[in-house]
Structure 1
């Protein structure tokens, strides 16, 4: 159903899709990160660019409307080695997903996540792009489960195991978190739920059913 709808939309709106979207996102993150690192060299400086692009409902309502979208360019941690690795990983995942789906479907996936984060931000007053990129990682893990990366730069591990660990953490956060946390998770991961929710639920159901009959019915 979803694929049929996306195929129809792609035929009509393909020309509006952004090719190499993650390249532009990663370059934007790098620019803001490097700019703030340079600003940090001035001990008297108190203005940082990243503070000016974070999602803040109060400031958006006061007129800083660019924050509605600019928060997607907030980079991860500022350790230069980790930052370089994280940005490369974002680019690699986004490029792989775009090659798998095509530019249009990848754009839909990414911007559905962005819209979910924005809605969560206006409901709860804050938003972060963290879960947006978690959804990117989990989509990559679902589609390319046997891809290997070097954990801590020297331990080879298949991406599916990291994906399962990350998914488990999200489930725990959803169960243990308060109402606001649950709303934020559901909205921020709306793209992942839309694209993979049905398939993952079906796979979990049939896996549980198979082991149930294996362990209990055959005894």
Structure 2
């Protein structure tokens, strides 16, 4: 994306390096405060609530990404480890500025969706967009699920796409809007690549189908331009293309050097 490269050259010096590390540390600290110090009330001050934002609690536009997953300590370690792995992998591939752009544009998407629906939000879908981007760039990378079972991330990504597709179909409009806006950053970065890849696959399938149809219809693969013998007539016959003929003309071994060259 040339436009993003231009932004990087102008504003790259302002990028926050190791952004995901800082967010993970903040998640861990807040989790400790909530579950080990008993300050569950802190959640009420951090999640994204557009109604309260309009009442002056502007900090909620930023603090919702600091809320950790509300789960057991064991699963928290797994989740935070994977968030860091995905963020660090994306930053390594793109550089700090582009990763910052991806992350903050994802935040903006969730904020817009929350204002449209009037609902409350956390960073769940934002982290999901990180995972999908990571899986796109590193499809064969293996994750130790629960630190035991190795699974390539592409399979986990497929599961998440199916899960979101199911929810998009069967959930209400509020959920649909949230899904669409949380994935805007993903399609900004990978949309063109997906379209080109899809077209190339379709073109490849059409070519393969046409080739197979052509081969099946003529019932042979090789045919001599002079005598007309084919590999079906004589399976042991050798065939070659003539390098001196202007075009792709094939001859049996008997006529390869004994024919009039086509110009």
TM-score, normalised relative to structure 2: 0.74
1:184 corresponds in structure 2 to: 178
- 5 Å matches for 1:67-216? 67-125=60-118, 126-208=120-202, 210-211=204-205
Structure 1 127/53 Cα, relative in aligned 2: closer, same or farther at 3 Å? same
Cα root mean square deviation, aligned: 2.0
1:58 matched to which residue of 2?
A: 51
SS of residue matched to 2:74:
helix
Matched length = 212
* Cα deviation 1:114-167 (Å, max 9, x = unaligned): 000111111112223111000100000000111111123221111111111112
* Residues in 1 aligned to 2:130 and 2:155: alpha-carbon distance in whole angstroms: 15
Cα gap change, 1:209/1:182 in structure 2, threshold over 3 Å: closer, same or farther? farther
The C-alpha deviation readout for 1:25-59, integer Å capped at 9, x for no partner, is 1011111100001233xxxx7x5212210011122
Q: Could you give the per-residue CA deviations for residues 71-103 of structure 1, whole angstroms, max 9, x where no partner exists?
A: 011111330011011111111111111011000
Whole-Å Cα distance in 2 between the matches of residues 71 and 132 of structure 1?
10
How far apart in 2 are the matches of 1:212 and 1:168? 27
Deviations 1:156-183 (CA, angstroms, capped at 9, x unpaired):
1111111111122222222333332222
Which has more helix, going by share of residues? 1
Distance 2:106 2:146 in 1: 28
Question: Aligned partners of 1:10, 1:206: CA distance in 2, in Å?
Answer: 30
Measured in 2, the distance between the counterparts of 1:166 and 1:86 equals: 15
Unaligned stretches of 5+ in structure 1?
none
Identify if the C-alpha distance between structure 1 residues 4 and 154 changes in structure 2 by more than 3 Å, giving closer, same or farther.
same
Q: Distance in 2 between matches of 1:192 and 1:166?
A: 14
